[in-house]
Amino acid sequence: MCGYDFTRFNWGDYRIREIHHIERRGHATGKKEDGTPRYDEKCNFFSACRPCHQDKLDSVGTMSHALQLGIKMRHDPKYFDLEQWLRLRDQSLKSTTRVTLKEIEDALDWWENQN
């Protein structure tokens, strides 16, 4: 996320990877059939170095869902699934426009022009 080159250096807080949940546990409803929490889906995981996790992702309101999903789409496309992610909070998908693919693409374009 921050662009830190892990191949050149491997020290300090930057080498520690942390898992961030894009949708917070309290916002994801219910449990899956196997009893695990619904928020615990691969589409909801975001891997970041410790400084980015603490400074950018865990600070409420710092980074929008659209931007987090855009970065996930770019760097973890195998597990990017917008519909599955939307179902974490709204299992029946009553609000399919809470975060749209267009918003994700726009946020990602903005992010890439900033960095």
Q: Is the pTM of this model over 0.85?
A: no
Largest CA distance in the chain: 46
Share of the chain above pLDDT 70, in %: 77
**Tens digits of residue pLDDT in 37-79:** 777 889 998 888 777 777 777 665 578 889 999 989 988 899 9
Tens-place pLDDT, residues 26-47:
777 767 778 777 778 899 988 8
Are the beta carbons of 44 and 81 closer than 8 angstroms?
A: no
Q: Is 21 helix (H, G, I), strand (E, B) or coil?
A: strand
* Segments making up each domain of the chain, as ranges: 12-114
Would you state the pLDDT for residue 37?
73
Question: Which stretch of DSSP H or E encloses residue 49?
Answer: strand 45-49
| Residue 62 to residue 32: CA distance in whole angstroms | 29
Scanning 26-94, the segments in alpha helix (DSSP H) are 50-52, 65-75, 82-87
